[in-house]
Amino acid sequence: MHPADIKPTIADESAPTTRCRIMATASTFFHEIGYQKTTVADIARALKMSPANVYRFFDSKKAINEAVLERLIGEVEAMLIAIAERPGQTPTERLVAAIHALHRHGMERYERYPRIHEMVEAAMSESWDVCSEHVAKLTAVLERIIRDGVREGEFATSDPAAAAGCIHVGIARYTHPLLVGQPLQPPIPPLETMIAFLLRSLARS
């Protein structure tokens, strides 16, 4: 079924705002045919409204794309925050879990949702503001875990913010949308080897 043939459901009709309905419809199109092929006219037709009405809520297709992406990456940020707040785990365990979760999520999107991955790839390559904010938020969560480790005597660093930035750059090859699906060929080490190396950089003497 083509996304334009989707009929509004009761949930759609009771959505709190038209803006949310536009984002939900756009997300369906992005999943089905890809965001490059999706037009504002497609979204408007599926919602039985005019393109001009869509532009009342989003001033461009790019704005719709960014809103959909923001919701998507918000889920990743929430996932990482939940790991950072896990009770009963050491900072090292939480840091390792966070890295694995980012890698797993990126691989799952690449393998199971290629059209959504395509949208994220394009967003990152175009340096949309929402992506820059996302990177900053993820780095802040890593910094939070590292600060916990310093406070508990598990990590040794005089600059947790810089350490978090280095960790984030160090795992980019395994988590970045533009790289995550590429084969890990030598001299690129396996993820576990990189994690062990990064943890040694934080270890107390």
User: 62: which strand partners?
Assistant: none
- For residue 186, cis peptide bond before it (omega within 30 degrees of 0): no
Residues 14-37 as b or e (16 or more Cβ within 10 Å = b): ebeeeeebbbbbbbbbbbeeebee
Residue 40 CA to residue 181 CA, distance in Å, equals 30
Residue 110 host element (H or E): helix 91-112
Structure tokens at 122: 């394009």
Residues in Cβ contact with 191 at an 8 Å cutoff, skipping those fewer than 6 apart: 99, 100, 103, 171, 174, 184
pTM beyond 0.75: the answer is yes
Q: What is the pLDDT along the chain (205 residues), one digit of tens a residue?
A: 444 444 444 334 433 589 999 999 998 998 888 888 999 999 999 999 999 999 999 998 888 988 888 888 899 999 999 999 999 999 999 999 999 999 999 898 888 888 887 777 777 766 567 788 889 999 999 999 999 999 999 999 999 999 999 999 999 999 988 788 788 888 899 999 999 999 999 998 7
- Report how far apart, in Å, the C-alpha atoms of 106 and of each of 29, 70, 99 are: 21, 16, 11
Quote the CA–CA distance of 149 and 144 in Å, as a whole number. 9
The answer for residues whose C-beta is within 8 angstroms of residue 136's C-beta and 6 or more apart is: none
